[in-house]
Amino acid sequence: MRLAVFTHAEHFVRGETLSSYAPYVREMDLWFEHVEDISVIAPGKTSFDRIDKAYSRVDIQFVAVKLLNFTSKRKTLISITRLPGTLFKIIKLMYKADHLHIRCPGNIGLLACFIQIFFPGKPKTVKYAGNWDNDPQQPWSYKLQKQILANEYLTKNAKVLVYGSWPGQSKNIISFFTSSFNKADIKDHIKDFSPPYRFLFVGSLVEGKRPITALGIIHSLKNKGFDVRLDMYGDGILKEKIKTYIRTHDLENVVTLHGNQEADIIKVVYTNAHFSILPSKSEGWPKALTEAMFFGCVPIGTAVSCVPWMLGHGERGILIEPEVDSATEKISRFLSTPFELENRSLKAQEWSQHYTMEKFSSEIKKFL
């Protein structure tokens, strides 16, 4: 089978190896186990980042395209000049492939969504890794991709994989999941919910993840007299603002910034922590919560996308409003009832450990 992958994830070529964002690569390695011939079309980049990983396969045909960016007038004009060449490469690759795998949302995914309309006989899988609900604040391009994918007349012979369970969807929309750990990683993690309470924030330090809100909640809990610690893993444009907040409020002994770290380090971190907090604005499948749940951490998240479903609507986690005072008050009540936290910890790991890499691979094979 000749599999063609269309993705906005930037790729780096070094010798015979092809690298990209590590969580994406780990997932694609499982798809690639079931096919003989692989082509990937994506933007190229000039450097290897710490959070990147090389594909296991070295026989991947990489079709590089220029990065498309429409966030400013200048970048939009440049991207428009790049569109014809990008469209030609996508059409050529779709024509040759036996199975089309489109990654959405993203600019390459949007173009591929349009072009796949003209290949109704080609079997397709589409991984929509963003928020599938009808959030009016989503970019128009995201809404357009969802409208095309949910339309069975435009998107034929396709399985559209989305996170969460959404009633009233077309027949080609399938609730799916992702995974990070193997069956061999499954253990019983019994947490001792006594102080100091160890919180984690794992994710990009950007507005969409609300790291400042997470920081404010920990600060507020400290002011209420709770012995708390916050370890932040990730990088982004808010890093300096977070450092300033920590210095200004004398939180050096409470909050520690670790930057981006490899997966093996994060696994140890999950083992030692009590909570994973992610008060984000929008999510697809929030790995920072599901991975932490695998190790018995109690997830704390906002009611966006499939997060309420993942947290059992509060039975295996804590759902908060993205507001410091109300979130602090709710978390405070749980810190005063450790047996409630122990119960949620056990339910969280039981749920998360159901979604192993082995199960993920088995489900992928069915689609191919």
What are the residue ranges spanned by the domains of the chain?
A: 2-181+357-367, 187-352
Instruction: pLDDT band for 27, please (50, 70, 90 cuts).
Output: very high
Helix (H, G, I), strand (E, B) or coil at 102: strand
User: What is the per-residue pLDDT across 55-93, written as a single tens digit (0 to 9) for each?
Assistant: 999 999 999 999 888 778 888 888 889 899 999 999 999
> What pLDDT is recorded for position 136?
65
- Alpha carbons 309 and 307: distance in angstroms, whole number: 5
Q: Do domains 2-181+357-367 and 187-352 have the same CATH topology?
A: yes
DSSP 245: H
Which helix or strand (DSSP H or E) is residue 231 part of? strand 228-233
pTM, two decimal places: 0.80
What pLDDT was estimated at residue 262?
Answer: 84
β-sheet with 318-320: strand ranges across: 255-259, 228-233, 197-202, 275-278, 298-302, 318-320
Q: Which CATH number fits domain 2-181+357-367: 3.40.50, 3.90.550, 1.20.1730, 3.60.9?
A: 3.40.50
| Listed residue (89, 85, 116) closest to 103, CA to CA | 116
Amino acid identity of residue 49, one-letter, is D
pLDDT at 242: 97
**What rounded mean pLDDT belongs to the chain?**
93
- Asked whether 60 and 38 are in contact (CB, 8 A), the reply is yes
Over residues 311-327, the mean pLDDT reads: 96
- The answer to whether residues 149 and 155 touch, using CB atoms and an 8 Å cutoff, is yes
Q: Are 178 and 27 in contact (CB under 8 A)?
A: yes
Tokens of 291: 């991975």
Q: How many CA atoms lie within 13 A of 49 on its CB side?
A: 16
- Averaged pLDDT, 215-231: 97
- Architecture of the domain whose range is 187-352: 3-Layer(aba) Sandwich (3.40)
Distance of CA 2 to the CA centre of its chain: 27
